[in-house]
Amino acid sequence: MTSLPSKTIYLKAAADNSIPGPDNFEIRESKVNTADLKEGEIVVTALVMSVDPFLRGQIKTGGSKKVGEAMVGFVAGKVLASKHTDWKENDLIGASANFSTVQILNPSKTIAWNVTDYVTEDKISYAIGVLGMPGSTAYGGLLDVLRPEEGQTIFVSGAAGAVGSMVGQIAKRVKKCTVIGSCGGPEKCKLVKEKFGFDHCIDYKTVSNTQELKAELKKVAPGGIDMYFENVGGMHFEAAFESLRPHGRIAVCGGISQYNKTESDKLKINPLQMIYTFQRIEGFVCIPWLSGKKGNFLKDMYDWVEAGHITVEETVFEGIENWPVAFQGLFTGKNKGKAVVKL
């Protein structure tokens, strides 16, 4: 029987109001027996693991992930062996799976996408970034939820992050919109404008409440905004909602400012504003586009990267042992673009 060593990240302790870190996780070693691979299964060796804010809600007390369970998220790697008709040895794969260095998967029972035609092993991190969950979130949220038109104005919170940076680049360089970003600190604002091509960037650390943020928005968009891509929550949502033009729309995929709180802040908005202005707020997740059921995500994003419309920015951590440190960095402002753990 063939046996391969594997390491897996497990939840050691729930995290409620505190910022999660190394004390909340543990790494266990095991063996993966591959000789008895069943029909429909593949053996995958992970080359990179993703670090994503949505995992935060899962590790709170009462969350979907229980203490002692393996962490599940997005990984990318190579197929070592296959008994699945759609996958062959050496194919490059992105998948929702355990955070394990080696594992057996049934691709038909999870989210999995083949990136063999789009990347080589040295660019496999793209499969958990621009060609993975963050890219498909930006793609679907902008193109299908917000439906931008040339010349319109979009406000993007979390603009230096994995999703926000791509939203702004597609809106600016593909859809020809005016793009306003928000992020924390002058260094990130410089990155957002100079590297990602945003027209304006607001340093949210210079404001303390909704009205101050709204005033900063008004300086760069005196006539209001047509679209808001929500990644942060709190005062960002309130300021954007109050700045929305008639027929304005808001796409909601996250709210990182709320993730380390037991209860989310109660938003102060007046939904009656939306009636005669024909405004719209819509929540969504990436799965329809990542799975290929909607749009043409993989090819479109690949083509935009190749054309220079999307600049890929990554913060790289080395080794599975540093996954908890990388995850903690999401909530302390340490990362720029996509946080990636290389194995």
* Residue 149 sits in the same domain as residue 246: yes
| CATH assignment at residue 49 | 3.90.180.10
191 domain residue, yes or no? yes
pLDDT digits (tens, 9 = 90+) for 297-316: 999 999 999 999 999 999 99
- Residue 92 burial class via C-beta count within 10 angstroms: exposed 0-12, middle 13-18, buried 19 and up: buried
Give the span between the Cα atoms of 4 and 213, in whole angstroms: 53
* Residue 158 sits in the same domain as residue 277: yes
CA dihedral sign of residues 294, 298, 301, 304: negative
Tell me: pLDDT of 256 over 90.
no
What is the residue-averaged pLDDT of the chain? 94
End position of a domain, from candidates 247, 271, 286: 286
Give the span between the Cα atoms of 33 and 1, in whole angstroms: 7
Give the span between the Cα atoms of 202 and 186, in whole angstroms: 9
End position of a domain, from candidates 269, 286, 303: 286
- Residues forming a β-bridge with 232: none
* Residue 9 sits in the same domain as residue 112: yes
**Structural domain count of the chain:** 2
Question: Band of the pLDDT at 260, cuts 50, 70, 90?
Answer: low
* Residue 139 sits in the same domain as residue 275: yes
162 domain residue, yes or no? yes
* Residue 53 sits in the same domain as residue 77: yes
Among 54-68, 111-125, 170-184, the minimum mean pLDDT is found in 54-68
305 domain residue, yes or no? no
pLDDT value, residue 104: 97
294 domain residue, yes or no? no
Q: Which of 81, 147, 127 is nearest to 284 (CA)?
A: 147
Residue 25: give the domain boundaries. 3-129+312-342
300 domain residue, yes or no? no
- Residues forming a β-bridge with 30: 6
pLDDT digits (tens, 9 = 90+) for 172-228: 999 999 999 999 999 999 999 999 999 999 999 999 999 999 999 999 999 999 999
Q: Which residues contact 208 (CB under 8 A, 6 or more apart)?
A: none
249 domain residue, yes or no? yes
Tell me: pLDDT of 261 over 60.
no
Tell me: pLDDT of 334 over 80.
no
pLDDT value, residue 36: 80
